[in-house]
């Protein structure tokens, strides 16, 4: 009888050990948390797909939003591994504040802005260009919030360059980020808007609207930069992903979505 109880006890202990091993074993795939500016959504989705095909041991978890909001979150130690901003200002601030090492800061793309109207709009951008903003038919103009989104700030600079801003500022509808700005136009909450060129290169907009490139000498160059957070638990994997984005595959995708290779900044 004692032998039977001893056998049962040993079996129970062995089962507990197996259960503990299962619960504490490391997952096969490392999850890298990425904070990315909203203008990157389509390009980054393609980058994510190819990167994960080549690196099946690393899974990307990407969140999109305004660079300003991400800066606030990262300053409060939000749990991200790597940050892709829509400008250089916010990553530089994180370097200055000690959240990103200087060696882990990197420029990765340079963007452009365009005017965009949805399919069926009576507005003719090809003929009027930015002067279309003065058309009486234009009641609402969507841009990203210039306090949070670099593409919104570029939109304001262009309007000021053409001496239009004071005449149209009361018509502005501000999106929290550039993706929400696009939604305002698509949903007819705005008649026209200023978007990142990368967002109109995708079929769902390229085939359902028209755009006009705003001359790049009318606004500050939009150099986009990023950085690896010092608090990242996976710095090696984050650097590996950075090198992929900066390498031939990543740069080819970014170029195809309307970005250009930036100068070091």
What is the pLDDT, as a whole number, of residue 19? 42
Reading the block at residue 213, the tokens are 């490139």
Right CATH for 30-111+222-256 from 3.40.570.10, 3.30.70.120, 3.40.190.10, 1.10.10.10:
3.40.190.10
Reading the block at residue 102, the tokens are 């200087």
What is the pLDDT, as a whole number, of residue 206? 64
pLDDT tens profile 93-109: 999 999 999 999 999 99
Residue ranges, the chain, pLDDT below 70: 1-27, 203-204, 206-207, 263-265
Inter-residue contact 112 to 214 (CB < 8 Å): yes
Segments in the chain forming alpha helices (H): 2-24, 41-54, 67-75, 89-96, 125-128, 150-161, 165-168, 178-186, 197-200, 203-206, 235-246, 248-256
The C-alpha R_g of the chain, in whole angstroms, comes to 24
Give CATH 3.40.190.10 domain extents, the chain: 30-111+222-256, 113-218
Rounded distance, CA 262 to CA 253, Å?
14
Q: Is the pTM of this model over 0.75?
A: yes
What is the pLDDT, as a whole number, of residue 155? 97
Please, is 156 exposed, middle or buried when counting C-beta atoms within 10 Å of its C-beta (0-12, 13-18, 19+)? middle
What is the pLDDT, as a whole number, of residue 197? 93
pLDDT tens profile 44-79: 999 999 999 999 999 999 999 999 999 999 999 999
Rounded distance, CA 232 to CA 226, Å?
14
What is the pLDDT, as a whole number, of residue 201? 82
Q: What CATH number labels 113-218?
A: 3.40.190.10
What is the pLDDT, as a whole number, of residue 263? 66
Bridge partner list, 223: 110
Inter-residue contact 82 to 241 (CB < 8 Å): yes
Phi, psi of 227 (to 5 degrees): -165, 155
């Amino acid at each position: 009888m004692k032998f039977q109880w001893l056998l049962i006890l040993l079996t129970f202990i062995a089962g507990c050990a197996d259960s503990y091993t299962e619960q504490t074993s490391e997952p096969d795939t490392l999850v890298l948390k990425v904070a990315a500016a909203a203008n990157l959504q389509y390009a980054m989705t393609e980058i994510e797909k190819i990167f994960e095909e080549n690196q099946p041991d690393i899974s990307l978890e990407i969140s999109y939003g305004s660079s300003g909001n991400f800066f606030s979150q990262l300053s409060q130690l939000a749990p991200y591994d790597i940050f892709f901003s829509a400008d250089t200002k916010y990553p530089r601030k994180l370097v200055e504040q000690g959240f990103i090492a200087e060696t882990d800061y990197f420029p990765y793309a340079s963007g452009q802005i365009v005017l965009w109207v949805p399919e069926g709009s009576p507005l003719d951008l090809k003929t009027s260009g930015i002067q279309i903003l003065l058309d009486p038919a234009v009641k609402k103009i969507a841009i990203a919030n210039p306090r949070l989104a670099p593409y919104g700030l570029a939109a304001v600079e262009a309007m000021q360059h053409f001496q239009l801003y004071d005449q149209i500022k009361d018509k502005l509808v501000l999106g929290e980020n550039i993706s929400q700005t696009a939604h305002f136009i698509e949903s007819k909450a705005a008649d026209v808007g200023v978007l990142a060129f990368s967002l109109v290169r995708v079929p769902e907009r390229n085939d359902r609207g028209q755009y006009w490139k705003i001359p790049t000498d009318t606004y500050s160059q939009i150099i986009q930069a990023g950085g690896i957070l010092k608090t990242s638990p996976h710095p090696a994997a984050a650097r590996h992903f950075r090198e992929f984005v900066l390498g031939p595959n990543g740069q080819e995708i970014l170029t195809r979505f309307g970005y250009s290779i930036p100068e070091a900044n």
